[in-house]
Amino acid sequence: MKLLEALNTVKSMHSRGGPTLPCALVTGFTPLHLKTFLTAELVRRIPGRSIEIAEGLYGDLAGNMRRLPEAKFEFAVVVVEWCDLDPRLGIRSGARWSKDELSDIVATAKQHAAQFLHAVGNAAPLPLSVCMPTLPLLPLAHTPGWQKSAFEVDLHGVIQSLASSLAGLPHVRLLSAQQLDLQSPPSERFDLQADLRTGFPYLIPYASTLANLLASLALRSTPKKGLITDLDGTFWNGILGEDGVGGISWDLEHHSQIHAFYQRFLGSLAGAGVLLAVASKNDPALVEEAFARADLAVAPSAFFPVEAHWNAKSESIARILEAWNIAADAVVFVDDSPLELAEVEAAHPGIECVQFPSGDDLAIYGLIARLRDRFGKNTVTEEDGLRLASIRRTRTRDVAAESATDTNFLDQTEAEVSFTFEREPLDPRVLELVNKTNQFNLNGARHTEASWRALLSNPGAFLMVSSYRDKFGPLGRIAVLAGTLCGTRLSVSTWVMSCRAFSRHIEHRCLAELLARFRPEEVRFSYQQTERNGPLRDFLSRLLGSPPAPECNASRSLLDAFLETVLHTPEMIDE
């Protein structure tokens, strides 16, 4: 982004207005154009908000960090440079420059790093996105530039140790130095003239690149949930129907190792809870045989469903989406054929169709790096490990249910619903459910960590998290309700439930538990219709006897009568 474009983006935000998003940019240098670029990048990502970035005092990074908790920010972006560890590492310093000074600089850097780490710890739970020093070190050491000095090694050691400590803090995200190096070579970062004139050390293009990555780090886009892959020319090299099971390859010997890399990547996605499926025009028996090959770089069990037949791929995608019970826009479809991609894209608007650049190893590597970004997540939860197994069990359960009535079947599932009401510590899975659930969602409201904490700190606030297991296995934490209790009125402002938990009457049990625990005379639902929350709307319609209005109320007697007609008595456990 050019600076002129960034200024105009900020200008348009000011003229448009919108709810304020207060955040901080913590630096020891003058943030100047970095602040402009960061504001513009945030505006692009959250067009409805009015971004307000606070900055601190020049030359006082640790002090600026210490003062962070005094204001109410939704998040902070922190950029550390060498001169924050010791001003003598900056061009604007007038301090003497001798061999004896160097060991003192390292000692000071250690001390300042420790103070910074302490301040970062105290800023919790404010989400922090931190960038470690990115500028080249000044030529302070006695060695020639091509030789790494002990001084340089020691300073990098201080930074490495600091970064290692920061990476272990749950409220901190570190900017990837590797990604920054790929996008902006170190030799194209330092603006000597600007640093001398104004105290802003970055060249304009570098400030733009850095702001772009920092904005992505601070405001992660919602990761995709599922990947559907083609087989021939994508998952492996060759055409299964023509080359046979022994003729397809993904190894060095056949110059097709890049396909093994793709398979390994898919395996890593599966391990992080991403759903994987196959859509291939192939003989199903042959596919089964190929998947039995011992040298596959990913376990065949990671894929469900496997759609292998000669019908249109859009049909396969439809069945896969139904089995996963997720929307097309949460899914990426990878295929080497532009024709197949176009056919799927036309039938499933919203799905992200990506061409696998078969035969171009470098392009495939680039594609995998981009896919990693689309599926990247901050943490892998227990539920991520359960997801695929749970979907398989649901399919088994659905088949079993076809031969029994709904009521009878639920009675036979040995369902256990459990509830917790603890608000601390903040559970990443709870926030993930709130921010990723679309269908059974009271109003579609999304939350940052800061806004979620603020909601839970309201007077009379409650949080109820529901977990479920039955004889087919656990689903983990699958429902979240939050709101406030004021007198005898319970106001529910957040209610989400994973689509994997549908058709088990868990929503009824959640309501029953709320009534039993808080004994309200009335429950108010902060309902808002969204494009996708039809299941929640249908549920409230059944409860109220008519389509819900925003801020709809249900009396205790109405709720009791409604629950009485539906609920059985599964084992309920208060944790």
Partner 1 sequence: MNKIQARLTNCFLAVFPELTIDQVVSASSTNVRNWDSVAGVTLLAVVEEEFGILLDNSSVSGLNSFQDFLNYLTRTTSTDLYAAAGGY
φ, ψ (nearest 5 deg) of residue 456: -80, -10
Looking up tokens 């938990």 gives 501
Using CB under 8 A, pick the residue from 32, 239, 389, 401 that binds partner 1.
32
Task: Pick the stretch among 30-38, 95-103, 179-187, 371-379 that binds partner 1 (CB under 8 A).
Answer: 30-38
CB 572 within 8 A of CB 513: yes
Q: Residue 122, interface with partner 1 (CB under 8 A)?
A: no
Looking up tokens 């920010």 gives 73
Find the binding residues for partner 1 in span 36-55 (CB under 8 A). 36
Q: Residue 33, interface with partner 1 (CB under 8 A)?
A: yes
Report, in Å, the least distance between residue 66 CB and partner 1: 25
Q: Which is nearer to partner 1, 3 or 389 (CB)?
A: 3
Task: Pick the stretch among 5-13, 398-406, 428-436, 469-477 that binds partner 1 (CB under 8 A).
Answer: 5-13
Task: Show contacts of 10-18: CB within 8 Å, 24+ apart.
Answer: 10/36, 10/39, 10/40, 10/43, 12/43, 13/39, 13/43, 13/50, 13/51, 14/50, 16/50, 17/50, 18/48, 18/49, 18/50
Give the β-pairing of 20-27 and 50-55: parallel
Find the binding residues for partner 1 in span 284-323 (CB under 8 A). none
Task: Pick the stretch among 2-10, 97-105, 400-408, 474-482 that binds partner 1 (CB under 8 A).
Answer: 2-10
In angstroms, the CA 310 to CA 52 distance is 55
Computed on alpha carbons and rounded to an integer, the radius of gyration of the chain in Å comes to: 28
Q: Which is nearer to partner 1, 27 or 498 (CB)?
A: 27
Report, in Å, the least distance between residue 119 CB and partner 1: 26
In angstroms, the CA 201 to CA 1 distance is 18
Report, in Å, the least distance between residue 13 CB and partner 1: 11
Q: Residue 11, interface with partner 1 (CB under 8 A)?
A: yes
Task: Pick the stretch among 1-9, 19-27, 353-361, 498-506 that binds partner 1 (CB under 8 A).
Answer: 1-9
Q: Which is nearer to partner 1, 3 or 552 (CB)?
A: 3
Report, in Å, the least distance between residue 180 CB and partner 1: 21
In angstroms, the CA 391 to CA 476 distance is 13
In the stretch 147-186, what mask flags binding to partner 1 with x, by CB under 8 A? ----------------------------------------
Q: Residue 72, interface with partner 1 (CB under 8 A)?
A: no
SS (H, E, C) 402-456: CCCCHHHHHHHCCCEEEEECCCCCCCHHHHHHHHHCCCEECCCCCCCHHHHHHHH
**SS3 state at 519:** coil
Size of the residue set binding partner 1 (CB under 8 A): 15
Find the binding residues for partner 1 in span 184-203 (CB under 8 A). 194, 197-198, 200
In angstroms, the CA 53 to CA 25 distance is 6
Q: Which is nearer to partner 1, 192 or 549 (CB)?
A: 192
Taking alpha carbons only, the member of 133, 147, 132, 24 closest to residue 77 is 24
Task: Pick the stretch among 4-12, 84-92, 339-347, 477-485 that binds partner 1 (CB under 8 A).
Answer: 4-12
How far are the Cα atoms of 217, 348, 439, 514, 549 from residue 28, in angstroms, in the given order?
A: 20, 49, 45, 49, 51
Report, in Å, the least distance between residue 201 CB and partner 1: 13
Q: Residue 2, interface with partner 1 (CB under 8 A)?
A: yes
In angstroms, the CA 463 to CA 78 distance is 31
Q: Which is nearer to partner 1, 204 or 308 (CB)?
A: 204
Report, in Å, the least distance between residue 51 CB and partner 1: 15
Report, in Å, the least distance between residue 208 CB and partner 1: 10
Report, in Å, the least distance between residue 58 CB and partner 1: 12
Q: Which is nearer to partner 1, 30 or 257 (CB)?
A: 30
Task: Pick the stretch among 32-40, 42-50, 260-268, 436-444 that binds partner 1 (CB under 8 A).
Answer: 32-40
Helix or strand holding residue 27 (H, E):
strand 20-27
Report, in Å, the least distance between residue 200 CB and partner 1: 8
Report, in Å, the least distance between residue 40 CB and partner 1: 11
Report, in Å, the least distance between residue 213 CB and partner 1: 20
Looking up tokens 């009568």 gives 561
The set of residues, in sequence order, having a beta carbon less than 8 Å from that of 12 and lying 6+ positions away, is 43
How far are the Cα atoms of 2, 33, 39, 365, 568 from residue 9, in angstroms, in the given order?
A: 11, 13, 9, 34, 57
Q: Which residues bind partner 1 (CB under 8 A)?
A: 2-4, 7-8, 11, 14, 32-33, 36, 194, 197-198, 200, 204
